[in-house]
Amino acid sequence: MQPKAARNISIEALRLVAVAGIAVFHTFQWTFQATCVGLPEYAPLAAFPYSGVLGFINLLGCWANEVFFMISGYFLIASAARAWDGGAT
């Protein structure tokens, strides 16, 4: 069994920011739903005084989700390749 590789602090920090972005998005998701229920599409966000902030939180959540999956995939693919070379399938 090989020793674990040293952690890359910058990638771990990016992963932490992504997790925080996802958490903030899910925290304010009820605000999107409460603002948009029963009104025509896009009309409530235009009338809502904090629509820019909600849009930024929505964008942050989407970005964070993509970044988190890319980082996880990067490490999982490397781990699977090492296991494949070691004979495990």
Domain boundaries, the chain: 10-85
| Cβ atoms 28, 74 nearer than 8 A | no
pLDDT in tens, 38-78: 656 656 556 666 677 777 888 888 899 999 999 988 888 88
In the structure encoding, which two tokens stand for residue 74, read together?
């990067």
| Cβ atoms 9, 69 nearer than 8 A | no
Does this model's pTM top 0.75?
no
pLDDT at 38: 61
Three-state DSSP class for 49?
Answer: coil
Short-list 31, 14, 25, 20, CA closest to 57: 25
pLDDT at 37: 66
Percent of the chain at pLDDT exceeding 90: 19
